Amino acid sequence: MSLKKILLLALIGFGAWNYYTNNVNSASSPTIRWSGETDVPKEAPIYSSQTSFSCDGRQHCSQMTSRAEAEFFTRNCPNTKMDGDRDGIPCENDSRF
């Protein structure tokens, strides 16, 4: 097999992988926009008012399972370390959310 064919197959494979990861991840979970973006309906709650979260000593983003949980902990629990720039949005750099 020539080098051109190998490079072409690698390029096609990369394109297919990139398409798959972008479309499967966005289709499998709903998009929730943060930081005051305007295209989120105002009547859609960011998280349910009847949460089952409770302060249990967790302080870091790596210990949270969702953005809603991180927001609950930041607003209601002491000594959290999830909003480094103190803008009210916890775990901004956590790619899981």
pLDDT value of residue 25: 52
- Burial label for 77, CB within 10 Å (0-12, 13-18, 19+), is middle
Q: Quick check: is 77 in a domain?
A: yes
Domain residues for the domain of 85 are 55-91
pLDDT confidence of residue 40: 46
Q: What is the residue type of 75?
A: R
Is 83 contained in some domain?
yes
Q: What percent of the chain has pLDDT over 70?
A: 71
- What's the Rg (C-alpha) of the chain? 20
- Residue 4 resides in a domain: no
* Domain count of the fold of the chain: 1
Per-residue pLDDT, 44: 46
pLDDT band at 12 (very low <50, low <70, confident <90, very high): very high
Mean pLDDT of the chain: 77
pLDDT of residue 30: 55
pLDDT value for 52: 81
How does pLDDT run across 24-66, given as a tens digit for each residue? Answer: 654 455 555 555 555 544 444 455 555 688 888 889 999 998 8
**Predicted local distance difference test score (pLDDT) of residue 24:** 62
> Does 34 fall in a domain?
no
In a domain, 6, yes or no: no
Give pTM, 2 decimals: 0.46
| Phi, psi torsion values for 79, nearest 5 degrees | 60, 30
Give the CA distances from residue 82 to residues 50, 72, 75, 90, 97, in Å, rounded to whole numbers and listed in that order.
22, 11, 11, 5, 13
Rounded Cα distance between 57 and 30, Å, is 29
* Any domain includes 10: no
